[in-house]
Chain A
Amino acid sequence: MNNSSNDTILKVEDLAVHFPVGGGLLGRSRRYLHAVDGVDLELKRGECLGLVGESGCGKSTLALTILGLQEPTRGRIVLDGHEVAREGMDRKARARIAQMVFQDPYSSLNPRQTVRRTLEAPLRLHGITTPSEIDGRIAEMLGRVGLRPDHAERYPHEFSGGQRQRIGIARALILDPKIIVLDEPVSALDVSIRAQIINLLLELQETLGLSYLMISHDLGVVEHMSDRVAVMYLGRIVETGGWETIFTNPRHPYTRALISAIPDPFKRSRGDKITGEIPNPLNMPTGCGFHPRCPEAREICRPSPVPELQEVGEAHLVRCRRVHEIAAPRGALVSSG
Protein backbone atom coordinates (compact mmCIF):
# COMPACT_ATOMS: atom_id res chain seq x y z
CA MET A 1 0.00 0.00 0.00
CA ASN A 2 2.86 2.39 0.78
CA ASN A 3 4.93 2.30 -2.38
CA SER A 4 3.75 5.30 -4.32
CA SER A 5 4.12 4.20 -7.89
CA ASN A 6 4.20 6.23 -11.06
CA ASP A 7 0.61 5.69 -11.96
CA THR A 8 -0.57 7.48 -8.82
CA ILE A 9 -1.39 11.11 -9.62
CA LEU A 10 -2.74 12.08 -6.23
CA LYS A 11 -2.00 10.63 -2.85
CA VAL A 12 -3.52 11.77 0.42
CA GLU A 13 -2.22 10.35 3.69
CA ASP A 14 -3.77 10.71 7.12
CA LEU A 15 -5.33 14.02 6.13
CA ALA A 16 -7.26 15.87 8.82
CA VAL A 17 -9.02 19.22 8.83
CA HIS A 18 -10.30 20.51 12.17
CA PHE A 19 -12.25 23.74 12.45
CA PRO A 20 -12.33 25.71 15.69
CA VAL A 21 -15.92 26.32 16.71
CA GLY A 22 -17.29 29.17 18.82
CA GLY A 23 -15.69 30.48 22.00
CA GLY A 24 -11.97 30.82 21.63
CA LEU A 25 -11.65 34.43 22.69
CA LEU A 26 -8.69 34.71 25.06
CA GLY A 27 -8.25 31.52 26.93
CA ARG A 28 -11.69 29.95 26.76
CA SER A 29 -11.17 26.42 25.58
CA ARG A 30 -11.90 26.00 21.89
CA ARG A 31 -13.82 23.04 20.54
CA TYR A 32 -12.87 21.55 17.24
CA LEU A 33 -15.09 20.20 14.52
CA HIS A 34 -13.37 17.24 12.88
CA ALA A 35 -14.54 17.82 9.31
CA VAL A 36 -11.98 15.44 7.87
CA ASP A 37 -10.39 13.01 10.26
CA GLY A 38 -7.57 10.85 8.98
CA VAL A 39 -8.32 10.18 5.33
CA ASP A 40 -6.07 8.12 3.08
CA LEU A 41 -6.81 8.32 -0.60
CA GLU A 42 -5.15 7.45 -3.88
CA LEU A 43 -6.14 8.59 -7.33
CA LYS A 44 -4.62 6.75 -10.26
CA ARG A 45 -3.80 8.34 -13.59
CA GLY A 46 -6.82 8.38 -15.89
CA GLU A 47 -9.30 7.07 -13.36
CA CYS A 48 -12.44 8.57 -11.88
CA LEU A 49 -12.77 8.20 -8.13
CA GLY A 50 -16.28 8.82 -6.85
CA LEU A 51 -16.46 10.35 -3.39
CA VAL A 52 -19.87 9.66 -1.87
CA GLY A 53 -21.52 10.74 1.34
CA GLU A 54 -24.18 12.95 2.84
CA SER A 55 -23.92 16.57 3.88
CA GLY A 56 -21.39 17.14 6.61
CA CYS A 57 -19.42 13.98 5.86
CA GLY A 58 -16.38 16.04 4.91
CA LYS A 59 -16.22 15.25 1.20
CA SER A 60 -16.23 18.91 0.13
CA THR A 61 -13.69 19.92 2.77
CA LEU A 62 -11.46 17.09 1.60
CA ALA A 63 -11.65 18.31 -2.00
CA LEU A 64 -10.99 21.94 -1.04
CA THR A 65 -7.96 20.87 0.99
CA ILE A 66 -6.53 18.93 -1.93
CA LEU A 67 -6.91 22.06 -4.08
CA GLY A 68 -5.27 24.28 -1.48
CA LEU A 69 -8.37 26.28 -0.64
CA GLN A 70 -8.31 24.91 2.90
CA GLU A 71 -5.33 24.38 5.19
CA PRO A 72 -5.02 20.83 6.50
CA THR A 73 -4.54 20.31 10.24
CA ARG A 74 -2.28 17.37 9.59
CA GLY A 75 -1.47 14.87 6.89
CA ARG A 76 0.32 14.67 3.56
CA ILE A 77 -0.86 15.58 0.08
CA VAL A 78 1.23 14.43 -2.89
CA LEU A 79 0.20 15.95 -6.23
CA ASP A 80 1.78 14.34 -9.27
CA GLY A 81 4.86 13.35 -7.28
CA HIS A 82 5.26 16.68 -5.48
CA GLU A 83 4.64 16.77 -1.78
CA VAL A 84 2.70 19.96 -1.32
CA ALA A 85 3.73 20.91 2.22
CA ARG A 86 7.40 19.95 2.03
CA GLU A 87 8.06 21.66 -1.29
CA GLY A 88 6.04 24.70 -0.29
CA MET A 89 4.20 24.37 -3.57
CA ASP A 90 2.59 27.71 -4.45
CA ARG A 91 -0.87 28.39 -5.82
CA LYS A 92 0.35 28.74 -9.40
CA ALA A 93 2.27 25.48 -9.48
CA ARG A 94 -0.70 23.70 -7.92
CA ALA A 95 -3.03 25.29 -10.46
CA ARG A 96 -1.23 23.58 -13.34
CA ILE A 97 -1.82 20.17 -11.76
CA ALA A 98 -5.28 20.29 -10.21
CA GLN A 99 -8.41 22.21 -11.19
CA MET A 100 -12.04 22.19 -10.17
CA VAL A 101 -15.49 22.20 -11.74
CA PHE A 102 -18.07 23.73 -9.43
CA GLN A 103 -21.60 22.66 -8.61
CA ASP A 104 -23.50 25.86 -9.29
CA PRO A 105 -22.96 27.09 -12.84
CA TYR A 106 -24.56 30.41 -11.92
CA SER A 107 -22.32 31.56 -9.08
CA SER A 108 -19.16 29.99 -10.48
CA LEU A 109 -18.72 32.46 -13.36
CA ASN A 110 -17.84 36.12 -12.82
CA PRO A 111 -20.87 38.02 -14.17
CA ARG A 112 -18.69 40.96 -15.28
CA GLN A 113 -16.28 38.96 -17.42
CA THR A 114 -16.79 37.68 -20.93
CA VAL A 115 -15.97 34.05 -21.61
CA ARG A 116 -12.80 35.22 -23.36
CA ARG A 117 -11.58 37.08 -20.27
CA THR A 118 -12.45 34.14 -18.04
CA LEU A 119 -10.25 31.88 -20.19
CA GLU A 120 -7.56 34.39 -21.19
CA ALA A 121 -6.61 35.71 -17.74
CA PRO A 122 -5.36 32.36 -16.40
CA LEU A 123 -3.30 31.80 -19.56
CA ARG A 124 -1.63 35.20 -19.20
CA LEU A 125 -1.04 34.58 -15.51
CA HIS A 126 0.79 31.38 -16.38
CA GLY A 127 3.01 33.01 -18.96
CA ILE A 128 1.17 32.51 -22.22
CA THR A 129 1.01 36.02 -23.66
CA THR A 130 1.25 35.66 -27.44
CA PRO A 131 -2.14 36.82 -28.78
CA SER A 132 -2.22 34.16 -31.48
CA GLU A 133 -1.48 31.39 -29.02
CA ILE A 134 -4.11 32.68 -26.61
CA ASP A 135 -6.72 32.88 -29.36
CA GLY A 136 -5.82 29.41 -30.54
CA ARG A 137 -6.05 27.87 -27.07
CA ILE A 138 -9.39 29.56 -26.35
CA ALA A 139 -10.92 28.51 -29.66
CA GLU A 140 -9.68 24.95 -29.21
CA MET A 141 -11.00 24.78 -25.68
CA LEU A 142 -14.43 26.15 -26.60
CA GLY A 143 -14.62 23.54 -29.35
CA ARG A 144 -13.72 20.76 -26.94
CA VAL A 145 -16.54 21.63 -24.56
CA GLY A 146 -19.07 22.06 -27.37
CA LEU A 147 -19.28 25.85 -27.63
CA ARG A 148 -18.83 28.05 -30.71
CA PRO A 149 -15.86 30.44 -31.10
CA ASP A 150 -18.19 33.46 -31.13
CA HIS A 151 -19.46 32.49 -27.68
CA ALA A 152 -16.17 33.89 -26.37
CA GLU A 153 -17.39 37.47 -26.56
CA ARG A 154 -20.51 36.87 -24.47
CA TYR A 155 -21.22 37.35 -20.80
CA PRO A 156 -22.37 34.52 -18.51
CA HIS A 157 -25.98 35.72 -18.26
CA GLU A 158 -26.39 35.10 -22.00
CA PHE A 159 -25.99 31.35 -21.48
CA SER A 160 -28.20 28.56 -20.18
CA GLY A 161 -27.20 26.52 -17.14
CA GLY A 162 -25.80 23.70 -19.26
CA GLN A 163 -23.73 26.08 -21.38
CA ARG A 164 -22.42 27.79 -18.26
CA GLN A 165 -21.28 24.45 -16.94
CA ARG A 166 -19.44 23.92 -20.24
CA ILE A 167 -17.69 27.26 -19.71
CA GLY A 168 -16.79 26.18 -16.18
CA ILE A 169 -15.30 22.98 -17.60
CA ALA A 170 -13.35 24.96 -20.23
CA ARG A 171 -11.93 27.18 -17.48
CA ALA A 172 -10.87 24.13 -15.49
CA LEU A 173 -9.12 22.65 -18.53
CA ILE A 174 -7.46 25.77 -19.95
CA LEU A 175 -4.19 25.25 -18.07
CA ASP A 176 -3.93 21.59 -19.13
CA PRO A 177 -4.20 20.19 -15.60
CA LYS A 178 -3.97 16.50 -14.82
CA ILE A 179 -6.51 16.25 -12.02
CA ILE A 180 -10.01 17.68 -12.06
CA VAL A 181 -12.10 17.81 -8.93
CA LEU A 182 -15.75 17.61 -9.94
CA ASP A 183 -17.97 18.95 -7.16
CA GLU A 184 -21.50 17.70 -7.87
CA PRO A 185 -20.98 18.61 -11.55
CA VAL A 186 -24.57 18.00 -12.69
CA SER A 187 -26.78 18.25 -9.61
CA ALA A 188 -27.65 21.92 -10.18
CA LEU A 189 -28.56 21.36 -13.83
CA ASP A 190 -31.93 20.63 -15.38
CA VAL A 191 -32.56 16.91 -15.55
CA SER A 192 -32.74 16.91 -19.36
CA ILE A 193 -29.31 18.61 -19.57
CA ARG A 194 -27.40 16.30 -17.24
CA ALA A 195 -26.70 13.60 -19.82
CA GLN A 196 -24.97 16.14 -22.09
CA ILE A 197 -22.56 17.17 -19.36
CA ILE A 198 -21.92 13.61 -18.12
CA ASN A 199 -21.13 12.46 -21.65
CA LEU A 200 -18.88 15.48 -22.19
CA LEU A 201 -16.94 14.82 -18.99
CA LEU A 202 -16.40 11.17 -19.90
CA GLU A 203 -15.24 12.11 -23.42
CA LEU A 204 -12.81 14.70 -22.10
CA GLN A 205 -11.46 12.26 -19.56
CA GLU A 206 -10.66 9.81 -22.29
CA THR A 207 -9.24 12.20 -24.92
CA LEU A 208 -7.19 14.24 -22.47
CA GLY A 209 -6.24 11.42 -20.10
CA LEU A 210 -7.65 13.29 -17.11
CA SER A 211 -8.03 11.97 -13.60
CA TYR A 212 -11.28 12.85 -11.87
CA LEU A 213 -12.08 13.12 -8.21
CA MET A 214 -15.85 13.38 -8.30
CA ILE A 215 -17.95 14.41 -5.32
CA SER A 216 -21.57 13.43 -5.67
CA HIS A 217 -24.56 12.31 -3.70
CA ASP A 218 -26.28 10.98 -6.82
CA LEU A 219 -25.41 7.31 -6.80
CA GLY A 220 -26.72 6.81 -10.35
CA VAL A 221 -24.15 9.31 -11.65
CA VAL A 222 -21.42 7.87 -9.43
CA GLU A 223 -22.03 4.35 -10.66
CA HIS A 224 -22.06 5.52 -14.27
CA MET A 225 -18.85 7.56 -14.11
CA SER A 226 -16.57 6.10 -11.45
CA ASP A 227 -13.87 3.48 -11.66
CA ARG A 228 -13.49 3.38 -7.93
CA VAL A 229 -15.73 4.66 -5.15
CA ALA A 230 -14.98 5.91 -1.63
CA VAL A 231 -17.85 6.31 0.84
CA MET A 232 -17.42 8.88 3.60
CA TYR A 233 -19.26 9.24 6.89
CA LEU A 234 -18.44 11.79 9.61
CA GLY A 235 -15.06 12.74 8.19
CA ARG A 236 -13.79 9.22 7.57
CA ILE A 237 -13.80 6.82 4.69
CA VAL A 238 -15.95 3.85 5.72
CA GLU A 239 -15.72 1.80 2.55
CA THR A 240 -13.73 1.94 -0.65
CA GLY A 241 -13.46 -0.34 -3.63
CA GLY A 242 -14.03 -0.76 -7.36
CA TRP A 243 -17.37 0.59 -8.58
CA GLU A 244 -18.74 -2.84 -9.26
CA THR A 245 -17.78 -4.09 -5.82
CA ILE A 246 -19.36 -1.10 -4.11
CA PHE A 247 -22.58 -1.26 -6.07
CA THR A 248 -23.11 -5.01 -6.24
CA ASN A 249 -21.41 -6.16 -3.05
CA PRO A 250 -21.40 -3.30 -0.55
CA ARG A 251 -20.24 -4.51 2.86
CA HIS A 252 -20.51 -1.50 5.17
CA PRO A 253 -24.03 -1.06 6.55
CA TYR A 254 -23.87 2.65 5.71
CA THR A 255 -23.08 2.02 2.05
CA ARG A 256 -25.97 -0.44 1.93
CA ALA A 257 -28.25 2.11 3.53
CA LEU A 258 -27.25 4.77 1.00
CA ILE A 259 -28.03 2.48 -1.89
CA SER A 260 -31.32 1.28 -0.47
CA ALA A 261 -32.41 4.86 0.25
CA ILE A 262 -32.60 5.70 -3.47
CA PRO A 263 -36.28 5.49 -4.43
CA ASP A 264 -36.70 2.68 -6.92
CA PRO A 265 -39.17 3.47 -9.69
CA PHE A 266 -40.42 -0.11 -9.76
CA LYS A 267 -40.94 -0.12 -6.00
CA ARG A 268 -38.63 -3.04 -5.41
CA SER A 269 -37.10 -3.22 -2.00
CA ARG A 270 -33.34 -2.80 -2.03
CA GLY A 271 -32.73 -3.69 1.57
CA ASP A 272 -32.97 -2.24 5.02
CA LYS A 273 -33.39 1.45 5.46
CA ILE A 274 -31.80 3.26 8.35
CA THR A 275 -33.36 5.71 10.75
CA GLY A 276 -32.15 8.69 12.72
CA GLU A 277 -30.06 11.60 11.64
CA ILE A 278 -26.41 12.26 11.10
CA PRO A 279 -24.98 13.03 14.56
CA ASN A 280 -23.73 16.48 15.42
CA PRO A 281 -20.06 16.34 14.41
CA LEU A 282 -19.16 18.27 17.56
CA ASN A 283 -20.53 15.43 19.61
CA MET A 284 -19.17 12.39 17.85
CA PRO A 285 -20.24 8.92 18.92
CA THR A 286 -17.52 6.76 20.42
CA GLY A 287 -16.17 3.81 18.53
CA CYS A 288 -17.74 3.39 15.12
CA GLY A 289 -19.29 6.73 14.11
CA PHE A 290 -22.20 4.99 12.45
CA HIS A 291 -23.29 2.79 15.35
CA PRO A 292 -26.19 4.99 16.59
CA ARG A 293 -27.95 4.58 13.23
CA CYS A 294 -26.68 1.18 12.24
CA PRO A 295 -29.20 -1.66 12.01
CA GLU A 296 -26.34 -4.12 12.60
CA ALA A 297 -24.83 -2.34 15.61
CA ARG A 298 -23.92 -4.45 18.65
CA GLU A 299 -22.10 -3.80 21.90
CA ILE A 300 -18.74 -4.36 20.21
CA CYS A 301 -19.29 -1.31 17.98
CA ARG A 302 -19.52 1.25 20.79
CA PRO A 303 -16.18 1.34 22.60
CA SER A 304 -13.29 3.47 21.33
CA PRO A 305 -11.15 3.55 19.30
CA VAL A 306 -12.52 4.03 15.84
CA PRO A 307 -12.50 0.73 13.92
CA GLU A 308 -9.73 0.28 11.36
CA LEU A 309 -10.24 -0.14 7.66
CA GLN A 310 -9.85 -3.81 6.87
CA GLU A 311 -9.41 -5.52 3.55
CA VAL A 312 -12.33 -7.81 2.72
CA GLY A 313 -11.59 -8.39 -0.95
CA GLU A 314 -9.25 -7.23 -3.67
CA ALA A 315 -8.72 -3.48 -3.06
CA HIS A 316 -11.96 -3.52 -1.08
CA LEU A 317 -11.64 -1.88 2.33
CA VAL A 318 -14.37 -1.63 4.96
CA ARG A 319 -14.32 0.17 8.30
CA CYS A 320 -16.59 -2.13 10.30
CA ARG A 321 -15.83 -4.47 13.19
CA ARG A 322 -18.68 -6.79 12.30
CA VAL A 323 -18.06 -6.97 8.58
CA HIS A 324 -17.43 -10.71 8.67
CA GLU A 325 -20.49 -11.39 10.80
CA ILE A 326 -22.94 -9.39 8.71
CA ALA A 327 -24.49 -11.52 6.03
CA ALA A 328 -23.50 -10.78 2.46
CA PRO A 329 -26.30 -8.92 0.69
CA ARG A 330 -29.25 -11.03 -0.35
CA GLY A 331 -28.29 -11.46 -3.96
CA ALA A 332 -26.77 -8.35 -5.39
CA LEU A 333 -28.54 -5.23 -4.28
CA VAL A 334 -28.86 -3.51 -7.60
CA SER A 335 -28.06 -5.94 -10.36
CA SER A 336 -31.40 -7.75 -10.17
CA GLY A 337 -34.30 -6.86 -12.38
Chain B
Amino acid sequence: MKFRANLVIGGVLFAGVIIAGIFAPWLAHTDPVMDANLLYAEEPPGSEFWFGTDAQGRDIYSRVLHGARISLTVGIVSQLINTVIGVALGLSAGYWGGWWDDVVNGLTNMMLAIPSLIFALAIMAILNPGLTSLLIALGLTNWSFTCRLARASALSLKSQGYVQAAKVLGYGDIRIMLTQLLPNMLGPIIVIGTLGMGGAVLAEAALSFLGLGIRPPYPSWGSMLSDARDQITTAPWISIFPGLAIFMTVLGLNLLGDGLRDILDPQARTRRA
Protein backbone atom coordinates (compact mmCIF):
# COMPACT_ATOMS: atom_id res chain seq x y z
CA MET B 1 0.00 0.00 0.00
CA LYS B 2 1.11 3.51 -0.73
CA PHE B 3 2.49 5.63 2.11
CA ARG B 4 -0.23 8.06 3.06
CA ALA B 5 1.19 11.05 4.91
CA ASN B 6 -2.15 12.45 6.03
CA LEU B 7 -3.29 9.12 7.43
CA VAL B 8 -0.03 8.54 9.32
CA ILE B 9 0.38 12.07 10.71
CA GLY B 10 -3.32 12.30 11.59
CA GLY B 11 -3.24 8.87 13.20
CA VAL B 12 -0.14 9.70 15.26
CA LEU B 13 -1.61 13.00 16.46
CA PHE B 14 -4.94 11.45 17.38
CA ALA B 15 -3.29 8.46 19.04
CA GLY B 16 -1.18 10.89 21.07
CA VAL B 17 -4.30 12.66 22.34
CA ILE B 18 -5.94 9.35 23.20
CA ILE B 19 -2.86 8.17 25.12
CA ALA B 20 -2.66 11.51 26.93
CA GLY B 21 -6.31 11.24 27.89
CA ILE B 22 -6.23 7.63 29.04
CA PHE B 23 -2.99 7.89 31.03
CA ALA B 24 -3.50 11.46 32.29
CA PRO B 25 -3.63 10.45 36.00
CA TRP B 26 -0.23 8.76 35.68
CA LEU B 27 1.41 11.22 33.29
CA ALA B 28 0.29 14.31 35.16
CA HIS B 29 2.56 15.78 37.78
CA THR B 30 -0.16 17.22 39.98
CA ASP B 31 -3.90 17.07 40.48
CA PRO B 32 -5.34 19.44 37.84
CA VAL B 33 -8.02 20.90 40.11
CA MET B 34 -6.89 20.66 43.70
CA ASP B 35 -3.21 21.49 43.52
CA ALA B 36 -3.53 25.22 43.33
CA ASN B 37 -0.68 27.05 44.98
CA LEU B 38 -0.58 30.77 44.71
CA LEU B 39 3.11 30.73 45.62
CA TYR B 40 3.83 29.35 42.19
CA ALA B 41 1.33 31.49 40.24
CA GLU B 42 2.21 32.34 36.64
CA GLU B 43 5.54 30.51 36.60
CA PRO B 44 6.93 30.37 33.05
CA PRO B 45 7.66 26.94 31.50
CA GLY B 46 10.72 25.28 33.06
CA SER B 47 12.07 22.02 34.42
CA GLU B 48 9.58 21.83 37.27
CA PHE B 49 6.46 23.10 35.47
CA TRP B 50 6.96 21.97 31.88
CA PHE B 51 4.21 24.19 30.46
CA GLY B 52 4.34 26.75 33.26
CA THR B 53 1.56 27.50 35.75
CA ASP B 54 -1.61 29.55 35.63
CA ALA B 55 -2.87 32.41 37.77
CA GLN B 56 -3.82 30.03 40.58
CA GLY B 57 -0.43 28.30 40.39
CA ARG B 58 -1.83 25.07 38.85
CA ASP B 59 0.48 23.02 36.58
CA ILE B 60 -0.65 23.68 32.99
CA TYR B 61 0.97 20.46 31.72
CA SER B 62 -1.23 18.41 34.06
CA ARG B 63 -4.32 20.43 33.21
CA VAL B 64 -3.78 20.03 29.43
CA LEU B 65 -3.43 16.25 29.87
CA HIS B 66 -6.66 16.07 31.85
CA GLY B 67 -8.31 18.39 29.35
CA ALA B 68 -7.72 15.73 26.68
CA ARG B 69 -10.13 13.48 28.60
CA ILE B 70 -12.91 16.03 28.39
CA SER B 71 -12.25 16.90 24.74
CA LEU B 72 -12.14 13.24 23.70
CA THR B 73 -15.24 12.34 25.65
CA VAL B 74 -17.13 15.22 24.10
CA GLY B 75 -15.76 14.58 20.60
CA ILE B 76 -16.36 10.84 20.54
CA VAL B 77 -19.65 10.59 22.42
CA SER B 78 -21.38 13.56 20.81
CA GLN B 79 -20.27 12.47 17.35
CA LEU B 80 -21.50 8.93 18.04
CA ILE B 81 -24.90 10.34 18.94
CA ASN B 82 -24.86 12.46 15.77
CA THR B 83 -23.88 9.50 13.62
CA VAL B 84 -26.54 7.21 15.05
CA ILE B 85 -29.24 9.85 14.56
CA GLY B 86 -28.02 10.81 11.09
CA VAL B 87 -27.69 7.23 9.85
CA ALA B 88 -31.01 6.11 11.32
CA LEU B 89 -32.91 9.02 9.78
CA GLY B 90 -31.03 9.16 6.47
CA LEU B 91 -30.93 5.44 5.83
CA SER B 92 -34.61 4.90 6.56
CA ALA B 93 -35.63 8.00 4.60
CA GLY B 94 -33.62 6.97 1.54
CA TYR B 95 -34.81 3.38 1.68
CA TRP B 96 -38.49 3.95 2.40
CA GLY B 97 -38.97 7.24 0.62
CA GLY B 98 -42.51 8.64 0.59
CA TRP B 99 -43.85 10.83 3.41
CA TRP B 100 -41.11 9.73 5.85
CA ASP B 101 -38.50 10.96 3.40
CA ASP B 102 -40.29 14.32 3.18
CA VAL B 103 -40.34 14.62 6.98
CA VAL B 104 -36.65 13.76 7.34
CA ASN B 105 -35.74 16.09 4.50
CA GLY B 106 -37.61 18.95 6.11
CA LEU B 107 -35.92 18.29 9.43
CA THR B 108 -32.49 18.13 7.82
CA ASN B 109 -33.03 21.37 5.95
CA MET B 110 -34.11 23.06 9.18
CA MET B 111 -30.99 21.85 10.94
CA LEU B 112 -28.84 23.09 8.10
CA ALA B 113 -30.49 26.50 8.21
CA ILE B 114 -29.64 27.02 11.89
CA PRO B 115 -25.92 27.36 12.65
CA SER B 116 -25.25 24.31 14.82
CA LEU B 117 -23.15 26.24 17.35
CA ILE B 118 -25.98 28.75 17.91
CA PHE B 119 -28.39 25.85 18.32
CA ALA B 120 -26.07 24.20 20.82
CA LEU B 121 -25.73 27.52 22.63
CA ALA B 122 -29.49 27.71 22.98
CA ILE B 123 -29.69 24.17 24.34
CA MET B 124 -26.89 24.87 26.80
CA ALA B 125 -28.64 28.00 27.96
CA ILE B 126 -31.71 25.91 28.85
CA LEU B 127 -29.83 23.00 30.45
CA ASN B 128 -27.36 23.36 33.30
CA PRO B 129 -23.75 23.70 32.17
CA GLY B 130 -21.80 20.46 32.55
CA LEU B 131 -20.52 17.48 30.64
CA THR B 132 -23.88 15.70 30.17
CA SER B 133 -25.59 18.79 28.87
CA LEU B 134 -22.68 19.44 26.55
CA LEU B 135 -22.93 15.91 25.11
CA ILE B 136 -26.64 16.35 24.53
CA ALA B 137 -26.27 19.80 22.99
CA LEU B 138 -23.48 18.80 20.60
CA GLY B 139 -24.92 15.34 19.91
CA LEU B 140 -28.28 16.68 18.76
CA THR B 141 -27.12 19.48 16.51
CA ASN B 142 -24.67 18.09 14.02
CA TRP B 143 -26.23 15.07 12.32
CA SER B 144 -27.51 16.73 9.16
CA PHE B 145 -24.45 16.00 6.99
CA THR B 146 -24.37 12.36 8.07
CA CYS B 147 -28.10 12.18 7.43
CA ARG B 148 -27.77 13.58 3.91
CA LEU B 149 -24.91 11.24 3.13
CA ALA B 150 -26.75 8.19 4.46
CA ARG B 151 -29.88 9.14 2.54
CA ALA B 152 -28.01 9.62 -0.73
CA SER B 153 -26.14 6.33 -0.27
CA ALA B 154 -29.36 4.48 0.54
CA LEU B 155 -31.04 5.93 -2.54
CA SER B 156 -28.29 4.71 -4.83
CA LEU B 157 -27.73 1.38 -3.07
CA LYS B 158 -31.36 0.31 -2.85
CA SER B 159 -31.58 -0.29 -6.57
CA GLN B 160 -28.56 -2.59 -6.49
CA GLY B 161 -29.30 -6.18 -7.40
CA TYR B 162 -28.24 -7.55 -4.03
CA VAL B 163 -30.77 -5.39 -2.19
CA GLN B 164 -33.50 -6.59 -4.54
CA ALA B 165 -32.26 -10.14 -4.01
CA ALA B 166 -32.50 -9.73 -0.24
CA LYS B 167 -36.13 -8.65 -0.60
CA VAL B 168 -36.87 -11.61 -2.83
CA LEU B 169 -35.24 -13.86 -0.21
CA GLY B 170 -37.75 -12.59 2.35
CA TYR B 171 -35.58 -10.23 4.40
CA GLY B 172 -37.50 -7.61 6.39
CA ASP B 173 -36.83 -3.93 5.73
CA ILE B 174 -34.86 -3.31 8.93
CA ARG B 175 -32.69 -6.34 8.27
CA ILE B 176 -32.04 -5.19 4.70
CA MET B 177 -31.01 -1.76 5.94
CA LEU B 178 -28.68 -3.15 8.57
CA THR B 179 -27.09 -6.03 6.64
CA GLN B 180 -27.20 -4.89 3.01
CA LEU B 181 -27.17 -1.08 2.97
CA LEU B 182 -25.31 -0.03 6.11
CA PRO B 183 -22.07 -1.99 5.56
CA ASN B 184 -21.81 -0.57 2.06
CA MET B 185 -22.12 3.06 3.14
CA LEU B 186 -19.96 2.84 6.25
CA GLY B 187 -16.75 4.12 4.63
CA PRO B 188 -17.91 7.68 3.86
CA ILE B 189 -19.86 7.81 7.13
CA ILE B 190 -16.71 7.05 9.12
CA VAL B 191 -14.97 9.84 7.22
CA ILE B 192 -17.73 12.35 7.99
CA GLY B 193 -17.80 11.13 11.59
CA THR B 194 -14.05 11.68 12.02
CA LEU B 195 -14.24 15.17 10.58
CA GLY B 196 -17.28 15.88 12.75
CA MET B 197 -15.35 14.80 15.82
CA GLY B 198 -12.84 17.57 15.15
CA GLY B 199 -15.77 19.96 14.84
CA ALA B 200 -17.16 18.78 18.18
CA VAL B 201 -13.81 19.34 19.92
CA LEU B 202 -13.79 22.90 18.56
CA ALA B 203 -17.41 23.44 19.56
CA GLU B 204 -16.73 22.23 23.08
CA ALA B 205 -13.83 24.66 23.33
CA ALA B 206 -15.97 27.49 22.03
CA LEU B 207 -18.86 26.77 24.40
CA SER B 208 -16.53 26.40 27.38
CA PHE B 209 -14.75 29.58 26.36
CA LEU B 210 -18.10 31.34 26.51
CA GLY B 211 -18.70 29.83 29.93
CA LEU B 212 -21.57 27.64 28.75
CA GLY B 213 -19.67 24.35 28.62
CA ILE B 214 -17.43 22.84 31.21
CA ARG B 215 -17.29 25.12 34.23
CA PRO B 216 -14.05 26.02 35.97
CA PRO B 217 -12.19 24.65 37.83
CA TYR B 218 -12.46 21.54 35.65
CA PRO B 219 -9.72 21.63 33.03
CA SER B 220 -11.41 21.89 29.67
CA TRP B 221 -9.18 23.41 27.00
CA GLY B 222 -11.86 25.94 26.15
CA SER B 223 -12.33 27.11 29.74
CA MET B 224 -8.55 27.23 30.23
CA LEU B 225 -8.33 29.58 27.26
CA SER B 226 -11.15 31.64 28.66
CA ASP B 227 -9.38 31.94 32.03
CA ALA B 228 -6.16 32.95 30.34
CA ARG B 229 -7.63 35.90 28.47
CA ASP B 230 -6.34 38.50 30.88
CA GLN B 231 -2.79 37.18 31.01
CA ILE B 232 -2.34 36.69 27.26
CA THR B 233 0.36 39.40 27.11
CA THR B 234 1.92 38.89 30.52
CA ALA B 235 1.89 35.07 30.69
CA PRO B 236 1.22 33.83 27.14
CA TRP B 237 2.01 30.19 28.02
CA ILE B 238 -1.27 29.94 29.90
CA SER B 239 -3.17 30.28 26.63
CA ILE B 240 -0.58 28.89 24.18
CA PHE B 241 -0.56 25.31 25.47
CA PRO B 242 -4.31 24.64 25.64
CA GLY B 243 -4.63 26.39 22.28
CA LEU B 244 -1.92 24.19 20.82
CA ALA B 245 -3.68 21.10 22.20
CA ILE B 246 -6.94 22.07 20.46
CA PHE B 247 -5.05 22.81 17.26
CA MET B 248 -3.18 19.47 17.24
CA THR B 249 -6.29 17.43 18.04
CA VAL B 250 -8.46 19.03 15.39
CA LEU B 251 -5.67 18.93 12.81
CA GLY B 252 -5.06 15.25 13.61
CA LEU B 253 -8.73 14.39 13.24
CA ASN B 254 -9.03 16.26 9.94
CA LEU B 255 -5.93 14.59 8.49
CA LEU B 256 -7.21 11.23 9.70
CA GLY B 257 -10.58 11.87 8.08
CA ASP B 258 -8.94 12.77 4.78
CA GLY B 259 -6.68 9.72 4.94
CA LEU B 260 -9.62 7.44 5.70
CA ARG B 261 -11.50 8.91 2.76
CA ASP B 262 -8.67 7.81 0.49
CA ILE B 263 -8.57 4.22 1.70
CA LEU B 264 -12.30 3.77 2.28
CA ASP B 265 -13.19 5.04 -1.18
CA PRO B 266 -15.67 2.41 -2.34
CA GLN B 267 -14.37 2.71 -5.91
CA ALA B 268 -10.96 1.48 -4.81
CA ARG B 269 -12.43 -1.31 -2.69
CA THR B 270 -14.87 -2.86 -5.11
CA ARG B 271 -12.83 -2.41 -8.26
CA ARG B 272 -13.41 -5.31 -10.58
CA ALA B 273 -10.55 -7.73 -10.34
User: Which residues of A are at the interface with B, using a C-beta cutoff of 8 A?
Assistant: 67-69, 90-96, 98-100, 102-104, 106-113, 121-122, 125-126, 157-160, 168, 171-172, 175
Contact = CB atoms under 8 A, between A and B. Distances in A.
Greatest chain A CB density within 10 A among B161, B171, B269, B270 is at B161
B37 interface: no
B167 A69 contact: yes
B270 A111 contact: yes
Contacts of A93: 170
A107 B169 contact: no
B16 to A, nearest CB: 32
Greatest chain A CB density within 10 A among B165, B167, B179, B180 is at B165
Contacts of A121: 169, 171, 179
B160 A107 contact: yes
Given A121-B179, A157-B273, A108 B168 contact: no
Given A107-B161, A126-B170, A172-B165, 13 more contacts: A67-B168, A90-B170, A98-B168, A102-B164, A107-B160, A110-B162, A111-B269, A122-B169, A157-B270, A157-B273, A158-B273, A175-B169, A175-B170
Main secondary structure of the interface of B (DSSP, over half): helix
B169 A102 contact: no
A106 B162 contact: no
Interface in B193-232: none
B46 interface: no
Interface in B125-184: 160-162, 164-165, 167-172, 175, 179-180, 183-184
B272 interface: yes
Nearest to A174: B169
Interface string B234-266: 000000000000000000000000000000000
A69 B158 CA distance: 12
B2 interface: no
Nearest to A157: B273
Nearest to B162: A110
Contact of A69 (B162, B168, B170, B171): B168
10 contacts: A95-B170, A100-B164, A108-B160, A121-B179, A122-B169, A122-B171, A125-B175, A157-B273, A160-B273, A171-B165
Contacts of B184: 110-112
